[in-house]
Amino acid sequence: METIEKINVSVLKNDIKKLVEEQKFLKNQRKTEHLVGERKIDFRLAAYKHMANREKLRLMYAAYGLMRGKKFSQTENHFPEENHPLIKYIDQISKIIETYNKIEK
């Protein structure tokens, strides 16, 4: 059972890495042409995707922490556990965990 959980965590970890790489690309695409060089996508679209990915990454990091047995306050230590802002996203985080549990079973 533990090997299945570790595989799920590694799949989630790889997906997080892919999104982080995309975030780096999108961050550069939001800047002016003088800083980036050639623009591959429109800066407005890059800004929108960057914002959407930022929220998705936050929830994925929280799911990753829960799958590893950590609390929200250990994942994002800016807030105490009893009134942590991630509590209102618990349904979305549960769906992410459920999705990655279905991958390997």
As given in the structure block, the two tokens for residue 89 are 């996203």
Residue range 4-30: average pLDDT? 84
Whole-model pTM over 0.85: no
Instruction: Identify the pLDDT of residue 102.
Output: 73
pLDDT in tens, 30-88: 876 666 567 788 888 988 999 999 999 999 999 998 888 888 888 888 788 888 888 89
Q: How confident is the model at residue 1 (pLDDT cuts 50, 70, 90)?
A: very low
Predicted pLDDT of residue 104 = 55
